[in-house]
Amino acid sequence: MVAALYQGGLGLPDRDYFFRDDTESLEIQDAYRDHIARVLILAGAPEKEARADAEAVYAMEKALASAHLGSEECRDPQKTTNIYTLVELEEEFPAIGWGTLAAIPGSGPVDEVHVYQPGYVGGLNSLLATAPLEDWKVYLRYRLIDQASPYLGASFEEEHFAFYETTLYGVPEMKPRWQRVVA
């Protein structure tokens, strides 16, 4: 078995959402920053702090997105087949802490890692080395809360639905609770 690592860390569907500059895309980018702020406010942050933190989260995600491969490139097996040893990863991307990751209890022995997008790992490595710790804290806090939103209560669930289903995909209303629970 070989461990695998894939690009991630974005709250928008893919990298292109961060870089398009047509009117609709700019509206989605603004709506996403507003969504981030609303989630942080729901979690107890004062509005002014939540707005500033939303900008920090968005900037972190945009920096990560700049290192992502596009969807077409992700289908290219020549670009996405990259086997590294832990020693090679530690030498090339030292800020990530590969030894610590490989030693997570229950992970089993890790000799090699299939890195689908080495450019992303390079971008993540650079961001880990340069971004302020406070930005990482707010980014990780937001990502945790946003991922758990459907399970944190009605206000979080409604905010999550409003952005991810209605704004992004045009779904007009949430399914009844019983259907969501069954799913």
* Segment 5-56, tens digit of pLDDT: 899 889 999 999 999 999 999 999 999 999 999 999 999 999 999 999 999 9
CA distance linking residue 183 with residue 178, whole number of Å:
9
Closest to 147 measured CA to CA, from 11, 5, 8: 11
**Which 8-state DSSP code applies to residue 174?**
P
Please report the pLDDT score of residue 107 as a whole number.
Answer: 76
pLDDT, the chain, mean: 92
**Which 8-state DSSP code applies to residue 44?**
T
Per-residue pLDDT tens for 53-76? 999 999 999 999 999 988 888 898
* pLDDT surpasses 90 at 100: no
Lowest average pLDDT, out of 97-101, 103-107, 148-152, 166-170, goes to: 103-107
* pLDDT surpasses 80 at 131: yes
Percent share of the chain, pLDDT over 70:
100
Exposure class string for 51-82: b at 16+ Cβ within 10 A, else e:
bebbebbbebbbbbbebbbeeeebeeeeebee
Confidence of residue 139 (pLDDT cuts 50, 70, 90): very high
- CB neighbours of residue 98 within 10 Å: 20
Residues 72-93: what's their mean pLDDT? 90
CA distance linking residue 59 with residue 138, whole number of Å:
11
Lowest average pLDDT, out of 58-67, 107-116, 155-164, goes to: 107-116
Segments of the chain assigned E as strands: 3-5, 83-85, 112-115
Q: What is the pTM of this model?
A: 0.88
Instruction: Give, to the nearest 10 degrees, the angle between helix 23-42 and helix 154-161.
Output: 170
N residues, the chain = 183
Non-local (6+) Cβ contacts of 142 within 8 A are 36, 39, 40, 53, 54, 57
Closest to 11 measured CA to CA, from 168, 183, 157, 182: 168
